[in-house]
Structure 1
Amino acid sequence: MKILIAGAYDNVPHTTVKFMEKAFRSLGHDVEIFDFRRIRKERGGSEMESQMLATVRETEPDTMILMKGEDINLRTIIAIGEHTHVSLRYMDSPLPRWLRKLAAACDSTFITAGGLVAEFEKAGVKNVFHLWEGVDPEVHRHWETDTDDFECDVAFVGVNKAGRDALLSTVIETGADVAVYGRKWPAGFPVRGEGIYLDDFAKLCSRAKIVLGMNDNNSIENYFSDRTFQIPACRGFHITSRVPGMENWFTDGGHLVCFDIGRGRGKKKYADAADKVKYWLDRPDERVRIAAAGQKWVYERYTWKKVCAGMTGKIEALISC
């Protein structure tokens, strides 16, 4: 199948588009990239959309996969749909008005938030599918290293939002050696860097005793951070916030560990997280066992190659109808 991916490509090596491109090529598909954000920045929205339509006409792809597609005119998508199957890929949890209209103009939509499939369908969107992000075993892997650069009791990767500072404050008060990588953290937090990616991320997951996580939204069913896959893939021991439906994808205590967010504020709200950090820091052998099982589980089910094979299988079935 000939695939045109319209999404952010730029010079960042860890974008979803680059992982998908690699996976599609490994599956034998012919892939072209249209970096609409870069072109829009350089030439403006109108010129970018004209070039997008021209690219579809010239390359004649079997499908164009549109990544998120913010600020793209519906008329452009409708015009492109006259030439090829248009598939929207959306990885976030909100369902804004512009997205409903955009998805309704597409032939298929693949969303990360499984609990929102019914909402999309109610909004008149056809062919809506739940699709996770994936892992790349060549990138998301375990590192055997003697360096202590990333050694700590508890590592946390992410921007400070949605109560994460309260979570980390509660964990820090247990006496654990905590390392934070991310932006917008208050002064005094143990921040070691503003971001960490690729090999360094994998090394951190390999060296930290616990990699702690907290999802942006803990109430949407079957929706959680892509790090929930990436950390176990690096054979990291992952403790993360529980969301409805997580048991459908991972075994709590078998592949990772979940904590429950309580009511109220501060220590009381994140007491379960602090208790589980203390409990699991004292059980290194069990941590190793669970981390190894988590890596095996993710590699068997959630690689980018498997994710993209599922996506193309559904698109091909729709095209052939």
Structure 2
Amino acid sequence: MDPILIVGSFGKPWNTAHYLVHAAEKIGHRVSTFDPLQAGATEEMLMKRVEESRPTYMLIMKGTGFKPEWNEALKEKGIYTILWHPDPDIPDWLLPLIRSVDFCFTMAEGMIPEWKEKGAKQVAWLSQGFEPAFFEAGPITDMDLRFYGADVAFVGNIDSTNNYLTRRYKLKRILREGFHLKWWGPRLGRKLINLPILLSSIGRAYGGRFIYGPEFAKVALCSKVFLAFDRETEIRLSMSARMYTAVGCGAFYMCEAMDGIESVLTPGKEIVTFKGEEEMIDKIRYYLPRESEREQIARAGQGRVQREHTYQRRLEQMFRTVKGAPHA
């Protein structure tokens, strides 16, 4: 298999770059890594890593901190450079890198025309995935069920930025309807704008911390409904990695409907989708007392994710696409 240099942030154990390294090694690639956000990262450090590992491909995850001139230097050495951006947007700081790399992958299929418009030489859709080895919950105990369990679980950010305000409104509605909610994510900052939330029913529903790995899996398994709100549901096939992770861990997953999602996981059989707040409440109310239906859907979704939507499968798809492209 071709040697790969994976470039990304490795500073946190939940960073996707860790999953990519594990997946690439598992399918037989010889992998080296470089973190452009490490203290004092320079082109010289990158070139030293290249000389040591002699990669055929460089895969840049997201692109934060990676300078376009570094990419040009690598291309002069004959290394084929790939960017995989895991957000449904194209920030201005990314534009020079988009135009420099040989191939771009976006997690949002509906964004492909904009990527082309912004100057990407070649671009394709590649959804995110799941890496099971990082999410082994182990046996679920009675204590786990008490601590992680809830009628409805939500994992994500609900801070005061405009991106997350609608999440707050929907979570408030769930609490008003009398459902037992726990949400997990970054702790809200102790600033004046967050004080009403901290003192409200949403503040009291906080699970207490940001979760990842085995704890994420325990929330997925101990909660009756794992509820999700993607950032840009109007963009075709722009599901976040959270969907694959939660379903892969065994969650009964409920999310907002999105164009094309049925090609990835089948609504009503592997996940449940809703349109609008009223349907969300109606479906939570319907499924909560129907444990066998929830378990059947959760098992079907988990099996599909672990067969088709792992990061190993994504990397295989990536390199099939790249090798089938002109001048790869």
Q: TM > 0.5 between the two?
A: yes
1:7-55 residue CA offsets vs partner (Å, 9 max, x unmatched)? 1113x322211111011111111000111111xxx22xxx523322343
Preserved CA contact (<8 Å) 1:174 1:278: no
Q: Residue 300 of structure 1 aligns with which residue?
A: 307
The equivalent of 1:4 in structure 2 is 5
TM-score of the aligned structures, taking structure 2 as reference length: 0.88
**Whole-angstrom distance in 1 between the partners of 2:56 and 2:240:** 30
Cα distance in 2 between the residues matched to 1:140 and 1:249: 21
Residue 179 (structure 2) aligned to one of 176, 181, 190: 176
Q: Residue 6 of structure 2 contacts residue 31 of structure 2 at CA under 8 Å; is this kept in 1?
A: yes
C-alpha contact 2:270 2:300 (8 A) present in aligned 1: yes
Structure 1 unaligned residues grouped into runs of 5+ = 262-269
Residues 205 and 231 of structure 1 are in contact (CA less than 8 Å); yes or no, is this contact kept in structure 2?
Answer: yes
2:168 to 165, 168, 178: 165
Tell me which residue corresponds to 1:267: none
Q: Which residue of structure 1 lines up, in the alignment, with residue 45 of structure 2? A: 51
Work out whether residues 85 and 319 of structure 1, in 8 Å CA contact, stay in contact via their aligned partners in 2: no
Partner letter of residue 182 of structure 1? G
Q: Could you say what secondary structure the match of 2:104 adopts?
A: strand
* Structure 1 residue 141: Cα displacement: 5.4
> Which of 107, 113, 122 is the equivalent residue of 2:108?
113
CA distance in 2, matches of 1:158, 1:93: 16
In the superposition, the TM-score normalised over structure 1's length comes to 0.89
- Which residue in the other structure is 2:26 paired with? 26
* Cα deviations by residue, 1:253-308 (Å, 9 ceiling, x for unpaired): 111111113xxxxxxxx222112111111211111111111111111210111111
- 1:287 pairs with 2:294: yes
Change (3 A) 1:111 1:78: same
The CA deviation at 1:74 is 2.4
| Cα distance change, pair 130–162 in 1 and its aligned pair in 2 (3 A) | farther
Q: Name the counterpart of 2:128.
A: 133
Match of 2:87 in 1: 92
Cα shift readout 1:205-254 (whole Å, capped 9, x = no counterpart): 11111111101111111101211111111111011111222122121111
Identity %: 27
SS in 2 for 1:191: coil
Residue matched to 2:72: 78
Q: Secondary structure at the match of 1:37?
A: coil
In structure 2, relative to structure 1, the CA distance for the partners of 1:143 and 1:152 (3 Å cut) is farther
Local SS of the residue matching 1:36? coil
Counterparts of 1:314 and 1:181 in 2: how far apart (Å)? 36
Secondary structure at 2:132 match in 1: coil
Instruction: Give 1:265's aligned residue.
Output: none
Are residues 197 and 73 of structure 1, via their aligned partners in 2, closer, same or farther at CA, if it must alter by over 3 Å? closer
SS in 2 for 1:88: strand
Following superposition, the deviation at residue 317 of structure 1 comes to 4.1
Letter matched to residue 130 of structure 1: W
Structure-1 residue corresponding to 2:243 = 228
1-structure distance, mates of 2:327, 2:91: 31
The letter for the 2-side match of 1:53 is M
Q: Describe the shift of the 1:13–1:120 C-alpha distance in structure 2 as closer, same or farther (beyond 3 A).
A: same
Q: Which amino acid aligns with 1:157?
A: V
AA paired with 2:270? H
Give the unaligned 5+ runs of structure 2.
Answer: 159-163, 189-193
Cα pair 1:143 1:206 within 8 Å, conserved: no
- Aligned to 1:163, the other structure's residue is in SS state helix
**278-287 vs 133-142, which moves further:** 133-142
Q: Are 1:171 and 1:273, in contact at CA under 8 Å, matched by a contact in 2?
A: no
Residues 34 and 52 in structure 1, CA contact (< 8 A), matched pair in contact too:
yes
Question: CA separation in 1, counterparts of 2:324 and 2:106?
Answer: 18
